[in-house]
């Protein structure tokens, strides 16, 4: 850049990157020079630098208004305005005036490879989730008060900036943060609580750390099959929703010990889950559909007190009380959802099947895939292989806040 024509660096001309890329690089510079650990510290230091100059080592106020400086910085940070070369030169001059600063010039504040992220050109790994990111921004636009303090965003940050911060934050931290806010809104009977819950499901689905969690095994070449390095039904719902580019959604839970399950997860009674799946090898394949739908019919009447545990399937059974009637209606619902681009899914959980399956679990899984593909092609099979170490702990840390967000009969 040093060889650029000076006309290209006229004070009123924009620098060769957008405000967001400029802010990201400026934050790194501020961290190196002033130890600013996060966006808030960076913002505070920059406001201080622009409103107080040093002459002969003595501080004196400038003519700059702190609120105006903050608004301008936030506009860069959110991408709503484009820094000019004049703005960069002013920053250089003010930084250089700070005591103990090494020499700095305008090139030090310009990223070498500026990245321009817009809704048409999102960051890598988010290209197929833009509809969800837009939905997040719409909620934040509708409820500006929800944006304050979320994801480390500074006061006055735009919806897209807050969205980006939330997505970059660890999923377990985001869940805890949003559920705390949700608790407050529900206690105040604020109608924004429903939108905040929706925001939570959207943010969890696009959270950056799920890219690693949900890598498919190389053997899974069928879109109706997912193999996930996960243990919980709760995080499996997030991974499946991300795969389908839809917000995650959870069925009701009633007790502190429950693991939330996705609304698209097929429920089977706990007593029949392992025996049914574990003995697939000894069954005639053509009986699988009948047995499976029979177990689903039993699960439809599971309840907690007077409330159905799986209200959707209970309504299907209520409208179709006979065994054959329920089987036909349930299969029709599974086929219909698949035609809309969403699949009901059945969890194949290694942890629950290890003691039931005879022989190699991988071979049994392949048998299950082949059998279900032949008998119920509209159903997705999702295998949970399990995780160890810190990744497993992070997964389990997500369960309590998600459960609190949907727990029936309890003020969270």
User: Do 18 and 81 touch, CB atoms closer than 8 A?
Assistant: no
pTM: 0.67
- DSSP 8-state code for residue 388: -
Reported as a single tens digit per residue, the pLDDT across 289-306 is 899 999 999 999 888 877
Q: Say what the pLDDT of residue 115 is.
A: 37
Q: What's the number of CA atoms in the CB half-sphere (13 Å) around residue 406?
A: 22
- Average pLDDT of the chain is 80
Q: Say what the pLDDT of residue 330 is.
A: 95
- DSSP 8-state code for residue 355: T
In the chain, which residues have pLDDT < 50? 1-5, 113-127, 215-220, 411-412
- Name the token pair of 319: 């409208």
User: Do 365 and 348 touch, CB atoms closer than 8 A?
Assistant: yes
Measured between alpha carbons, how far apart are the two ends of the chain, in Å?
55
Closest residue by Cα to residue 94 from 15, 38, 34, 154 = 34
Q: Say what the pLDDT of residue 1 is.
A: 41
Q: Rounded distance, CA 301 to CA 344, Å?
A: 19
Report how far apart, in Å, the C-alpha atoms of 229 and of each of 259, 345, 410 are. 17, 16, 32
Cα dihedral 197, 198, 199, 203 sign: positive
User: Do 110 and 104 touch, CB atoms closer than 8 A?
Assistant: no
Q: CB-based burial of residue 372 (10 Å sphere; 0-12 exposed, 13-18 middle, 19+ buried)? A: buried
- DSSP 8-state code for residue 6: G
Q: Say what the pLDDT of residue 123 is.
A: 43
Burial 297-312 (b: 16+ CB within 10 A, else e): bebbeeeeeeebbbee
Pairing of strands 307-308, 303-304: antiparallel
Q: Rounded distance, CA 329 to CA 321, Å?
A: 10
Q: Say what the pLDDT of residue 273 is.
A: 92
């Amino acid at each position: 850049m040093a060889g650029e024509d000076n006309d290209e660096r006229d004070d009123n001309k924009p620098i060769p990157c957008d405000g967001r890329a400029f802010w990201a690089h400026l934050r790194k510079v501020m961290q190196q020079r002033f130890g600013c650990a996060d966006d808030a510290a960076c913002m505070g230091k920059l406001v201080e630098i622009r409103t107080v100059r040093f002459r002969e080592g003595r501080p004196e106020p400038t003519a700059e208004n702190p609120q105006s400086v903050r608004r301008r910085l936030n506009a860069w940070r959110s991408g709503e305005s484009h820094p000019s070369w004049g703005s960069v030169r002013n920053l250089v001059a003010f930084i250089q005036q700070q005591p103990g600063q090494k020499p700095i010039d305008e090139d030090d504040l310009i990223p070498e490879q500026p990245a321009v992220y817009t809704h048409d050109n999102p960051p890598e790994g988010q290209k197929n989730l833009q509809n969800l990111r837009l939905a997040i921004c719409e909620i934040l636009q509708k409820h500006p008060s929800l944006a304050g303090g979320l994801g480390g965003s500074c006061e006055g940050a735009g919806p897209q900036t807050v969205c980006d911060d939330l997505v970059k934050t660890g999923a377990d931290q985001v869940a805890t943060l949003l559920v705390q806010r949700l608790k407050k809104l529900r206690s105040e009977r604020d109608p924004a609580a429903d939108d905040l819950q929706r925001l939570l499901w959207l943010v969890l689905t696009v959270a950056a750390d799920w890219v690693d969690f949900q890598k498919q095994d190389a053997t899974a070449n069928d879109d109706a099959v997912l193999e996930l390095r996960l243990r919980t039904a709760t995080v499996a719902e997030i991974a499946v929703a991300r795969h389908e580019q839809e917000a995650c959604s959870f069925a009701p839970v009633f007790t502190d010990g429950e693991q939330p399950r996705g609304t698209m997860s097929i429920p089977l009674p706990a007593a029949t889950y392992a025996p049914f799946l574990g003995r697939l090898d000894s069954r005639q394949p053509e009986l699988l559909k009948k047995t499976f739908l029979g177990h689903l019919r039993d699960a439809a009447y599971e309840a907690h007190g007077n409330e159905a545990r799986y209200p959707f399937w209970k309504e299907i059974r209520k409208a179709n009380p006979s065994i054959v009637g329920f089987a036909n209606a349930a299969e029709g619902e599974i086929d219909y959802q698949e035609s809309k681009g969403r699949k009901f899914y059945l969890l194949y959980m290694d942890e629950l099947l290890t003691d039931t399956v005879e022989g190699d679990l991988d071979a049994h899984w392949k048998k299950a895939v082949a059998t279900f593909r032949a008998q119920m092609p509209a159903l997705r099979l999702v295998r949970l292989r399990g995780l160890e170490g810190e990744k497993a702990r992070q997964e389990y840390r997500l369960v309590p806040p998600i459960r609190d967000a949907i727990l029936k009969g309890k003020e969270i």
